[in-house]
Amino acid sequence: MLKNRYFRWSLKIISAVLSFSLIFLFIQPFFVPKYIGGSTTIVSGYSYLDKNSIDVLFLGSSQMFCTVDAGMLTDKYDISSYDFGASGQNLTMSEYYYTEALKTQSPNLVILEACQIFLSNDKIGDDALSWNFDPMNISIKEFTTAQQVCNNNIKAFNYSFTPLFLYHDRWNSIGDKDSGGENDIDYVIDPKKYIDLSSRGFLARDHVEPQKLAFYNDDTSLKTIPQESKTAILKIAEDCKNRNIKLVLFKSPSSSWTKGDSLSVKHFAEENSLEFIDLNEKLTEIGIDENSDFYDGAHLNTNGAKKTTKYLAILLQSYLKN
């Protein structure tokens, strides 16, 4: 009799825990911020690709997905590609994105944006953590990556498994388009209608903001690349080698990128037999105009991206033939 009573109580406790967990998992997505037309839709869009359907995978931060018009590469140049990244992504997080990307795709070529190579894990802010982790599926790899970049197990656990605890104060803004909860409810119910798969992760911006390009100066001072960035790149490189995938580091045109930045990455690439292409050395060939082709100090606008993508298409075609 006592044994049956314990058994019944155990069933009740297990049922209560399971019920709470299901309710928790159901309501949690409504609290996670949605960056419609930004990182959220770019990351989510990747999951709607047909399996093993891309030849080229682009990884990195917003400088990557504001530079490479993957839709143009796919439609105009027959180079099936996708810009799989999120704003503020450093190399540790790029390695995590690479691992997740290879679960459903087997590209022939991986192009890794190097703009955040100098950003150490301890310099990543909460906004970047949100942009990079919130749209991703729950996984152990997400948690271990969050541990590295948060240096805080509780925070890492929250970003990976229980974001409700991070955003519990968003009750009042959910569904309110004027206060940061833009289309949250709609997006959770039907995310696909917010995803423009034809853009392939590219974010088009038409605004023009003239820039003075640092690369035109003579600043050749070298920068230190954090060990975690080196480790992340070498992990990607090793996995690419094992899978017979070509890996190329690249730097998109940027007004703040210097010759010293470029030399720092070149030295690292040469030491590790990696290929690095700095498009800031090709600004004239690409046709980049500092007065008309930038959205802001870090990003190209749509016009600059079209020019750069056209230049990149020729390089990509040569890589894919070899």
189-205 mean pLDDT? 92
**How many Å apart are CA 89 and CA 128, to the nearest integer?**
7
DSSP 43-80: HHHHTTSPTT--SEEEEESHHHHTT--HHHHHHHS---
The three-class DSSP label of residue 114 is: coil
**How many Å apart are CA 80 and CA 185, to the nearest integer?**
32
> What's the confidence (pLDDT) of residue 22?
74
| 61-74 confidence digits (pLDDT tens) | 999 999 999 999 99
Residue 60: which region, alpha, beta or left (left: phi > 0; alpha: psi -120 to 50)? left
Q: Which residue has the tokens 């998992």?
A: 25
Cα 143 to Cα 129, 168, 239, distances in angstroms: 12, 20, 20
Q: β-pairing, 109-113 with 56-60? A: parallel
Domains and CATH numbers, the chain: 28-321 (3.40.50.1110)
| 86-108 confidence digits (pLDDT tens) | 999 999 999 999 999 999 999 99
Q: How confident is the model at residue 296 (pLDDT cuts 50, 70, 90)?
A: very high
Q: β-pairing, 56-60 with 275-278? A: unpaired
Question: Looking at the predicted structure, is the pLDDT value of residue 180 above 50?
Answer: no
Q: How confident is the model at residue 179 (pLDDT cuts 50, 70, 90)?
A: very low
Question: Looking at the predicted structure, is the pLDDT value of residue 2 above 60?
Answer: no
26-40 mean pLDDT? 85
> What's the confidence (pLDDT) of residue 151?
83
Q: How confident is the model at residue 178 (pLDDT cuts 50, 70, 90)?
A: very low
pTM equals 0.92
Alpha helices for the chain (secondary structure H): 2-27, 39-46, 62-65, 70-76, 91-101, 126-133, 140-150, 153-160, 184-189, 227-243, 259-271, 283-286, 302-321
Q: How confident is the model at residue 124 (pLDDT cuts 50, 70, 90)?
A: very high
Share of the chain above pLDDT 70, in %: 93
> What's the confidence (pLDDT) of residue 176?
57
Question: Looking at the predicted structure, is the pLDDT value of residue 25 above 80?
Answer: no
